[in-house]
Structure 1
Amino acid sequence: MKAFVIDKQSKLPLHFQIYEDIKGKIESKKLQAGDKIPSEKELQTLYDVSRITVRRAIHDLENEGFVKKSQGKGTIVCSTKQKYDLKRLSSFSEDVKEHGEISSSIIREFKIVKADHKTAYSLGILEGEEVYYLERSRLSGDTVVGLHKAFIKKTDEISLDRLEFDETTSLYERLKMKGIQLKYANEILEAQMPDKEIKKGLGMKDNIPIFFKERITYDTSGVPIEFVKMYYRSDVYQYKVTLDVNDGSKNL
């Protein structure tokens, strides 16, 4: 690993400069998941700093999930988390493509079910009416990152069949082909502890919290089309929100 020259005259702390250098190499994929970074002693020599400074930089990288210490292997680069913007409505396929990865799905279940109370309320239909149910594990590259359980309104315009879906099919693109133009969605995001079923769908072994989202998606006429429950692994997924100052606010 090639180190940049630490600026010891800078106001930035030395450990932060090292942190930023290694983080940059991970994000640019000069250091990839599974790569071993140099030992503390080697980093001390590379950056010409004290062992304490190196340890603090590694500690910060570990806290942020960029590296992890593995017994007998040293410090290993973790899979970098993919950031997703909460400001716009997009499909999973579009999100993954923006990060330069290939999206795919494992179709776990497709069937017609009777809407329970919550699904019916969300889709603006009567309880017991038939809806399509599509459950998929979602992959970015070779990694399972999400599990989607979608309930889609069943109408004359929206006629779906299991054979329409393979590992690369986008539901939103499929709806668009049927003349259904999606316009906006309402979402709720929270943290959850996954049960055994969800962990299996996410390919998880560790008992760690996950992101859970509920989304109701509407067409251009404001008619609800989809109610979906989405589960995402927090070790590979993170969300980004851009906040603007309200024009009417005088004080912050």
Structure 2
Amino acid sequence: MAGGNVIRKDIPVALYYQLKEEIRRKILANEWAEGSRIPSEAEIAKMFDVSNITVRKAIDELQNEKYLVKKRGRGTFVLNRSIGQKLHKFYSFSEELTTMGIKETAKLIVFQEIIPEAFIREPLQIGAEEKVFWIKRIRYMDNKVYAIEHSYIPVKFVPELTGELVDKNGLYKTLRMFHVFPERAIETFSAVNISREDARDMNVMVNDAAINLTRVTYSGADIIEYCQSIVNGEVFHYTVELK
């Protein structure tokens, strides 16, 4: 089946990134089932009307993110479900912890309207001149820091958004107030060492182990948030339900 119309060459988003997200979508939608061999690089290039170099870069990144694995002489296969792929349901940190009876609070550090750099624009799939709200928060669980969070929200979806509303109601509740409903997300987890700045905010040692979490949040077909979080693994952990 041809797939070239999925990749748009008239928007300022790298072709390899568009292709990577389309392959990821196929995996998460089970169109390319776990354990199955995906088409060859040449076949994918023909399907989506892109170069072999573009395909190779997309596949290499998906292999690094534990969606795919290359097997010498056999091809590239979809990995079984893992923490690098998806949790069993959409969730909000604060709402989940409140349900568990744990006191969760967040301190708003930054609320600014900015023109973002490319590493933020690409996952949001926005143009070079489009503005976003940059929201930095320190999150506490029972008065202990468990995460440093940077959220980027395209201004076009909620131009009336303010720091006061986010600080008072939380981000997702505020978005819902403006009829922007977070419905699903794609998350990527990796191990990192805590930077000097984050260590100071978390009151831990520089280079302590932590979880780097990135989230792309959707409302329908719209990408409404790109979020980067550093999570203190000593305070918070994830349980993944595999099906």
Mapped to 2, the partners of 1:98 and 1:86 lie a distance apart of 18
Which residue is equivalent to 2:91? Answer: 90
Which residue is equivalent to 2:240? Answer: 241
Which residue is equivalent to 1:177? Answer: 177
Mapped to 1, the partners of 2:122 and 2:149 lie a distance apart of 19
How much has 1:194 moved relative to structure 2? 1.1
C-alpha RMSD of matched pairs (Å): 1.7
Q: Which runs of 4+ in 1 moved over 4 A?
A: none
Q: In the superposition, relative to structure 1, how do residues 212 and 158 fare at CA in structure 2: closer, same or farther (>3 Å)? A: same
Which residue is equivalent to 2:222? Answer: 223
Q: 2:88–2:242: 8 Å Cα contact kept in structure 1?
A: no
How much has 1:90 moved relative to structure 2? 1.5
How much has 1:125 moved relative to structure 2? 0.7
Deviations 1:158-215 (A, max 9, x none): 421122232x532000000000011111111000001111112323236421001110
How much has 1:228 moved relative to structure 2? 0.4
How much has 1:157 moved relative to structure 2? 4.0
Identity, % of aligned positions: 22
Which residue is equivalent to 2:134? Answer: 133
Q: 2:150–2:227: 8 Å Cα contact kept in structure 1?
A: yes
Mapped to 2, the partners of 1:231 and 1:87 lie a distance apart of 21
The code of the aligned residue for 2:230 comes to Y
Deviations 1:70-102 (A, max 9, x none): xxxxxxxxxxxxxxx932221121121132111
Which residue is equivalent to 2:68? Answer: none
The code of the aligned residue for 1:143 comes to K
Q: Aligned ranges for residues 35-184 of structure 1 at < 5 Å?
A: 86-155=87-156, 157-166=158-167, 169-184=169-184
Which residue is equivalent to 1:34? Answer: none
SS of the residue corresponding to residue 198 of structure 1 reads helix
The code of the aligned residue for 2:103 comes to I
The code of the aligned residue for 1:231 comes to I
How much has 1:152 moved relative to structure 2? 0.5
Q: Aligned ranges for residues 7-46 of structure 1 at < 5 Å?
A: none
The code of the aligned residue for 2:226 comes to F
Which residue is equivalent to 2:51? Answer: none
SS of the residue corresponding to residue 239 of structure 1 reads coil
Structure-1-length-normalised TM-score:
0.59
Mapped to 2, the partners of 1:157 and 1:107 lie a distance apart of 18
How many pairs does the alignment contain? Answer: 158
Q: 1:149–1:228: 8 Å Cα contact kept in structure 2?
A: yes
Which residue is equivalent to 2:47? Answer: none
Q: 2:138–2:148: 8 Å Cα contact kept in structure 1?
A: yes
Q: Aligned ranges for residues 200-219 of structure 1 at < 5 Å?
A: 200-205=200-205, 207-219=207-219
Q: 1:116–1:128: 8 Å Cα contact kept in structure 2?
A: no
Q: 2:199–2:205: 8 Å Cα contact kept in structure 1?
A: yes
Mapped to 1, the partners of 2:134 and 2:206 lie a distance apart of 28
Q: In the superposition, relative to structure 1, how do residues 232 and 219 fare at CA in structure 2: closer, same or farther (>3 Å)? A: same
The code of the aligned residue for 2:214 comes to E
